[in-house]
Structure 1
């Protein structure tokens, strides 16, 4: 009884291809099976390793470039932010650097994720091609899975995209005083999915970016301190206006209040009349975020000046109750 060998006595035809792996392996080993399988055993694994090595190298270089573009020292603006519009008020002082660093870090994180997805995605497709797999069904299946995930995670995608545009457009940043609808307060951090802010009571609010339909930012450009001063009926409005103008002029020359004023206070005069009394209004343009401190300081000075001039508050003074 004789055994039949899986290979014929004839060597594989590929050994005649000059420079082929098959020819090289056959010359070294004179083994027909190894020569015929050289493409699968050596050539394809080496090409796959080269694809992976090149993918990791490209990803490493791209991430290093992104890191260099997002790093800023001191007052230096990161290179990545220079082409983008920046609305950070200089009144924030040290927070400006922190705001820039966080914004650059967030944009850099997005770019790194995109680079990793593109590089490894392309490498995965090339490796599948080296293995001889038909890519059409795989691409179709990936598309169906992507659509299903998109529907299932649409809120997450919505939050993420909203966060990306908020960071790119610099709608707000660390240190800004904002009103985002569900909550208002000072921004502590801006993420791609959630914005964190703290209100005047110290409560920390986590607001999903996709749920923010409008943003009122009180820390960009300038702010206006509006003072509505109530006075009693029968008050000489012209006299009250003179007192407001005098106090505003004095405040514009007194530090540190004068540092917050961008323009001299403007007396608008009588604002409204109610059953309780009259309201006189004065406005002043101030640095962003300093309107509330300016209102408190000016209101204290104005009320003291009104009292000194004999201008009564609405309905007169509240008298303490008589004893029994």
Structure 2
């Protein structure tokens, strides 16, 4: 049985078609009738794939260019419209913070662009092959819903990481409090944030599980200094001496670069069975509050001791020695 067509295809009536040209060269009815499948459609599919690859290449080049940190550690082009809350700290830490933020956002953009470009190219290729896309799209929707339910925690981590990066809630070098862990941020990713606490323990926090975060390294910080006194101490005189000593102390070379404002004496903070506590606060640069607290506490205690103020329980601690 001859399965090949015996009559010339009707498409040869138009001399401008590929079908006519193939028939004119080969005088083969089957080749002429199948010219569209054998030549035209493969060429269209190849053209679609080449264009998709070229568009993806240009898109990735553009994303890499706008997310690359220029010389001097300045903000990449992509991050300039976004708000930056990087604290004033060592230059290398700022550069690392910006680099990780730009790298992560760039990675998200590259993945999304690749998925969209190749996904559209895949749909166009299926259309060229004459495949009905409705069942495929419906099946993909069902699979997507199933994967969404199964990996909802992972999706939540990634979405939280994206918004955290865009809003710059925290970054490398920031001292943050996640509730369960407190420390310095060492790395920020889309799924996990890594921080190291004061004991050297490394904590890995999933971004989707972070319900609240306290950042001690944005804008400014406040150094809180509590100084204990005995019940017999002259509180008014002690407050005056502490204010004078702190005012002179913050003007020194050791603290002047960290302090943003004059000391503020708040007065009596608490009264305990052991004695009285006076509180002083100082507005400082972010991340410098702990160093300023230690320096001022040592300065104030030394000043009060020189002026003859006794520490709490001083009388009771020295009584046994007197009996000896």
Do they superpose with TM above 0.5?
yes
Pairing partner for 1:66 from 63, 67, 88: 63
How many residues align? The count is 320
Deviation at 1:319, TM superposition (A): 5.1
TM-score by length of 1: 0.95
C-alpha distance in 2 between matches for 1:320 and 1:112 = 74
Task: Give 1:197's aligned residue.
Answer: 195
Compute the RMSD of aligned alpha carbons: 1.6
C-alpha distance in 1 between matches for 2:159 and 2:143 = 20
C-alpha distance in 2 between matches for 1:190 and 1:224 = 26
Task: Give 1:90's aligned residue.
Answer: 88
Structure 1 residues not aligned, in runs of 5+: none
Task: Give 2:35's aligned residue.
Answer: 38
Deviation at 1:78, TM superposition (A): 0.6
Pairing partner for 2:138 from 140, 151, 161: 140
Could you tell me whether the CA contact under 8 Å between 2:6 and 2:29 is conserved in 1?
A: no
Could you tell me whether the CA contact under 8 Å between 1:185 and 1:200 is conserved in 2?
A: yes
C-alpha distance in 2 between matches for 1:46 and 1:262 = 69
Deviation at 1:280, TM superposition (A): 0.3
Pairing partner for 1:165 from 151, 163, 167: 163
Pairing partner for 1:112 from 106, 110, 113: 110
Deviation at 1:21, TM superposition (A): 2.4
Task: Give 1:223's aligned residue.
Answer: 221
Deviation at 1:321, TM superposition (A): 7.9
Structure 2 residues not aligned, in runs of 5+: none
Deviation at 1:162, TM superposition (A): 0.1
TM-score by length of 2: 0.95
C-alpha distance in 1 between matches for 2:300 and 2:272 = 21
Deviation at 1:60, TM superposition (A): 0.5
Deviation at 1:299, TM superposition (A): 0.7
- 2:272 aligned with 1:274, yes or no? yes
Deviation at 1:8, TM superposition (A): 4.6
Name which of structure 1's ranges 122-131 and 71-80 shifts more when overlaid on structure 2: 71-80
The residue matched to 2:179 in structure 1 has which SS? coil
Task: Give 1:214's aligned residue.
Answer: 212
Deviation at 1:18, TM superposition (A): 3.2
Could you tell me whether the CA contact under 8 Å between 1:92 and 1:175 is conserved in 2?
A: no
Deviation at 1:5, TM superposition (A): 2.4
Could you tell me whether the CA contact under 8 Å between 1:84 and 1:168 is conserved in 2?
A: yes
